Structure 1
Amino acid sequence: MRLAVLGSGSGGNATLLDSGQGCLLVDAGLSAKQLVLRMRELGVEPGDLTGILVTHEHGDHVKGLEVFSRKFEVPVYATALTQEVLARKVTSVKQWKLFTAGQSFECGGVSVESVAIPHDAVDPVGFLFEHQGLRAGVVTDLGHASSRLIDRLRGISAMVLEANYCDQMLEDDEVRPWSLKQRISSRHGHLSNHQARDLARELQSSGLERVVLGHLSKDCNHAQVASKVFEELGLREVRVASQTEVTGWMPVAEPAPVALSVDEATGQVVMELFG
């Protein structure tokens, strides 16, 4: 299982997860044209998608859904409340697959678990994926990480995690009014770099090794600033998603090292796994 971010930021968000049996698209916040072009950079065609999973109804997560669904018949998974909001402007979806926040379902050979998150949307969720014993997560647009959310995330090896703003850069920003700054930093707004780091630290003991930092503010954060905050954790890999370029594939976990030997008594090849 592997994942890649097609683009992430206030201008649009979309993530691919490939299980080897099919691909899932989490959010369609880029234009339909860009979704197709960026998927093809990774060797994925629209017809390879087994489902589009929607985290919430904000435009930077669903901007391309109407046109993309008009061109390609891919089932769209959303909570009933999110679908109710989207149905007013997204009319081309042929097949809605509705679920309740907290519910699990199968899609493309992957076990998908939805998890409610705190954000200023009607019914926002994150997603956890499990396939052949590997677990990954996509969790963006949340104002804080509750103990319940942390417990649900334990055991994942890789994740796409929001690191929206640098506290100091947000405070110093002269464009955003005070009310907007308060909304961004509220418990139903977005995670700061340090809040994201603290969440990742909580998950390290249960196996988290790889993180893609996403949804960075173009004015109140920077890739180098965000990644530096994570240096102290010593994770195996930390990438920062871009608004304009795909991240490339990130494996959920490296395969265990293998040693081959021959059993002298039987002549059979013996495979031994390490790690």
Structure 2
Amino acid sequence: MRFIVLGSGSGGNAAVVEAGGMRLLVDAGLSAKQLTDRMKASGIEPASINAVLLTHEHGDHVRGLRVLMKQMAAPVYATPSTSMVVRGSGVDTASWKIFESGGSFHFNGLSVHSFAVPHDAVEPVGFVFRHEEKSFGLLSDTGHVTKLISERLRGVGALFVEANYDDALLEADTKRPWSTKQRISSRHGHLSNAQTAALVAELATTGLRRVVLGHLSRDCNCPLTAAKAVRGSLAEVEIVCAEQDKPCGWWE
């Protein structure tokens, strides 16, 4: 099993998970051109994508989907409410596969298990991918870590997780109005470095060994700050940060 983050941040999010001869695109928040260009630069032919999975309907996760679906025949997997909203936005050429939040589905030995997350979207989910003895968790936009999230991610060997903001930098930010700051830090907003650090420390006791941090705010976070906060004293866990403007290479 391996995965690559094509880009992550408020400007657009997308990743590819590969195992068992299957390639799954998770979210399509970059433009279709950026998605195809970055896939090709990473050795992925867009036509080889077997399915697209959506975490939720926000633009930075589905922006390129409408045009991409005119170029690819892969089905789109989404929860009922997410699919309804995205279809209503004009993505009408896709072949939709609907799954209930908490449901599972399988691709040639690669299993995908969804779980509900708290975010200000209609029906957001995270995913755990399993193939043979390997497992990978993906937790994107999330306001706080619930008991369900911790349980579903327990035992994963690798994790992509958002570390959106540093508390002090968000508080000091002058570009965002108070209402926006409140939304970001709310229980249905985004994860801070401190919240992500607590989750990673918990999962490190159950086998987590590789973490890729994503969705870093350009103004209220930075890779060094996020990695330092999340790493803490966890010498056994490798921690790197995904970037907004380019793919970050494959992680096994």
User: Could you state the TM-score of these two structures normalised by the residue count of structure 2?
Assistant: 0.97
Per-residue deviation, 1:107:
2.6
RMSD, aligned CA: 1.0
Query: C-alpha separation between the residues in 2 aligned to 1:246 and 1:94?
Result: 25
In structure 2, the partner of 1:122 is: 122
Equivalent residues of 1:51, 1:108 under 8 A apart: no
Per-residue deviation, 1:235:
3.7
The 5 Å alignment of 1:103-182 reads: 103-182=103-182
- The structure with the larger Rg is 1
Q: Which amino acid aligns with 1:44?
A: I
**Range with bigger deviation, 104-113 or 227-236:** 227-236
Per-residue deviation, 1:20:
4.1
The 5 Å alignment of 1:1-275 reads: 1-232=1-232, 233-251=234-252
In structure 2, the partner of 1:268 is: none
Per-residue deviation, 1:247:
1.0
Write the deviation string for residues 208-238 of structure 1: whole angstroms up to 9, x where unpaired. Answer: 0000000001111111110111232224421
In structure 2, the partner of 1:259 is: none
Query: C-alpha separation between the residues in 1 aligned to 2:213 and 2:13?
Result: 12
Equivalent residues of 1:211, 1:239 under 8 A apart: yes
Equivalent residues of 1:70, 1:92 under 8 A apart: no
Equivalent residues of 2:8, 2:244 under 8 A apart: yes
Q: Percent identity?
A: 52
Q: Which amino acid aligns with 1:244?
A: D
Which ranges of structure 2 fall in alignment gaps of 5 or more residues? none
Which ranges of structure 1 fall in alignment gaps of 5 or more residues? 252-275
Q: How many pairs were matched up?
A: 251
Query: C-alpha separation between the residues in 2 aligned to 1:193 and 1:37?
Result: 31
Query: C-alpha separation between the residues in 2 aligned to 1:197 and 1:229?
Result: 6
Q: Which amino acid aligns with 1:174?
A: T
* SS of alignment partner, residue 70 of structure 2: helix
Q: Which amino acid aligns with 1:225?
A: T
Q: Which amino acid aligns with 2:249?
A: G
Equivalent residues of 2:197, 2:231 under 8 A apart: no
Per-residue deviation, 1:41:
1.7
Equivalent residues of 2:27, 2:52 under 8 A apart: yes
* SS of alignment partner, residue 216 of structure 2: coil
* SS of alignment partner, residue 250 of structure 1: coil
Equivalent residues of 1:26, 1:54 under 8 A apart: yes
Write the deviation string for residues 82-133 of structure 1: whole angstroms up to 9, x where unpaired. Answer: 0011111233433100000000011353100000000000000001000011
Query: C-alpha separation between the residues in 2 aligned to 1:130 and 1:120?
Result: 28
Q: 1:148 to 1:164 in 2, by over 3 A?
A: same
Query: C-alpha separation between the residues in 2 aligned to 1:90 and 1:29?
Result: 15
Q: 1:203 to 1:126 in 2, by over 3 A?
A: same
Q: Which amino acid aligns with 2:114?
A: S
Q: Which amino acid aligns with 1:237?
A: E
Equivalent residues of 2:39, 2:45 under 8 A apart: yes
* SS of alignment partner, residue 203 of structure 1: helix
Write the deviation string for residues 156-188 of structure 1: whole angstroms up to 9, x where unpaired. Answer: 000110000000000000111111111100111
**Range with bigger deviation, 92-101 or 118-127:** 92-101
